[in-house]
């Protein structure tokens, strides 16, 4: 087990290290002069000032030196400053991160509750109208763009019914974005749960459990459900990654003040230090949460070999 955990942590560190290289290269892949592009939209800067900024960012040095500089600054917690306003990037991102995490976890809960319930009942009532209805709903759910679902929910619950606010950052404002993101992913989870449950239903131990006269409720809950969930739990890490990705879009629909909204704004402003910081923080969060979920999974499922 210890070896497995170590291996997962090492691979996580490797991923983040590769990300730091990618992020350093990012600015060099920009067609044209990144410094000029960054400052083109805002202040009137003279060529001398641009040269000075280039020097400050270290862009006039060889690329390996830039990387070493960037790394040593990162390790000291210095992610640079924003182009406009000169705010420390790390501070800005960490200030917004809790909002994104809150949205992602709230959505994950909705995804699991709705997706697993729907998938379980579809499999249990296989071939009936319940199954058909739920799975039709699921394929529709997969096909509806989350930003559109968000707008439609906003239209119904905020504009027509007036039950919920359109946007903002207190807890009541979390309901619609979390529903949007949660339902969009619940569709995929319900399909996964259904096929996983169908596999379990044909297993010998289910037939044995029924044959020994166990109540159907017990067969379903104790034997089928618990085993069917193994696959679903295994997918949690991946699902969380999807939630983080989906949050970028949904935050922008509801003006939810997370790092996704900040990322889009900084892409518009060509604020590369912030974009770089965003990618790093995003990668770090996704990698860390995946490792934690994987370790939990290995701990829960006794069949996993920790090698």
Partner 1 sequence: MVPPATTAQPTAPSLTQTSLNKARRFFSALLRNPGSRIGLFLCLVLVFTALFAPLLAPHSPTELGVGRALTPPNAEFWFGTDEFGRDLLSRVIYGSRLTLKVGLIAVGISMTVGVLVGLVAGYAGGWLEAILMRTVDVLFSFTETLIALAAVAVLGPSLTNAMIAVGISSIPYYARITYGAVLVEKNKEYFKAAQALGAQHGRLLFRHILPNILSPIIVIATVGVSIAVLSASALSFLGLGAQPPSPEWGAILAAGRDYFKTAPWITTFPGVAIALTVLGFNLLGDGLREALDPQQRQ
Positions in the binding site for partner 1 (CB under 8 A):
11, 14-15, 18-19, 22, 26, 29-31, 139-140, 142-148, 151-152, 154-155, 159, 241-242, 244-246, 248-249, 252, 263-264, 267-268, 272, 275, 279, 282-283, 286-287, 290
Cα torsion 198, 202, 208, 212: sign: positive
Rounded to whole angstroms, the Cα distance separating 196 from 191 reads 9
| Closer residue to partner 1 in complex, CB, 183/219 | 183
Identify the H or E element spanning 127: none
| Closer residue to partner 1 in complex, CB, 5/284 | 284
Minimum CB separation of residue 283 from partner 1 in Å reads: 6
Cβ–Cβ contacts within 10 Å for residue 37, how many?
A: 13
| Closer residue to partner 1 in complex, CB, 18/300 | 18
Cα separation of the two ends of the chain:
8
Rounded to whole angstroms, the Cα distance separating 151 from 173 reads 14
Decide if 171 contacts 219 (C-beta within 8 A).
no
| Closer residue to partner 1 in complex, CB, 127/302 | 127
Residue carrying the six token digits 């730091």: 20
Cα torsion 168, 263, 244, 156: sign: positive
Minimum CB separation of residue 22 from partner 1 in Å reads: 8
Minimum CB separation of residue 214 from partner 1 in Å reads: 30
Minimum CB separation of residue 24 from partner 1 in Å reads: 13
| Closer residue to partner 1 in complex, CB, 50/151 | 151
């Amino acid at each position: 087990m210890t070896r497995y955990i170590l291996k997962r942590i090492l691979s996580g560190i490797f991923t983040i290290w590769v990300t730091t290289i990618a992020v350093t290269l990012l600015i060099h892949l920009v067609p044209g002069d990144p410094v000029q592009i960054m400052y083109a939209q805002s202040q009137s800067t003279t060529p001398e000032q641009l040269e000075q900024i280039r020097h400050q960012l270290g862009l006039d040095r060889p690329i390996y030196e830039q990387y070493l500089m960037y790394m040593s600054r990162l390790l000291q917690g210095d992610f640079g400053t924003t182009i406009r306003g000169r705010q420390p990037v790390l501070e800005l991102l960490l200030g917004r991160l809790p909002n994104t995490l809150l949205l992602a976890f709230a959505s994950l809960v909705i995804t699991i509750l709705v997706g697993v319930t729907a998938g379980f009942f579809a499999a249990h009532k296989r071939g009936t109208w319940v199954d058909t209805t739920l799975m039709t709903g699921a394929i529709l759910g997969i096909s509806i763009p989350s930003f559109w679902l968000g707008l439609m929910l906003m239209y119904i619950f905020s504009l027509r019914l007036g039950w919920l606010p359109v946007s903002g950052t207190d807890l009541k404002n979390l309901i619609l974005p979390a529903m949007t993101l949660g339902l969009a992913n619940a569709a995929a989870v319900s399909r996964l749960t259904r096929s996983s449950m169908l596999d379990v239903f044909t297993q010998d131990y289910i037939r044995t459990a029924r044959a020994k006269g166990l109540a159907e409720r017990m067969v379903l809950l104790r034997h089928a459900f618990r085993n069917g969930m193994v696959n679903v739990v295994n997918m949690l890490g991946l699902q969380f990654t999807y939630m983080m990705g989906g949050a970028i879009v949904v935050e922008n629909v509801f003006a939810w003040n997370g790092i996704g909204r900040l990322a889009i704004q900084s892409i518009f402003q060509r604020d590369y230090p912030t974009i770089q910081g965003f990618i790093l923080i995003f990668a770090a969060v996704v990698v860390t949460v995946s490792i934690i979920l994987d370790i939990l999974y290995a701990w829960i499922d006794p069949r996993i070999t920790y090698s």
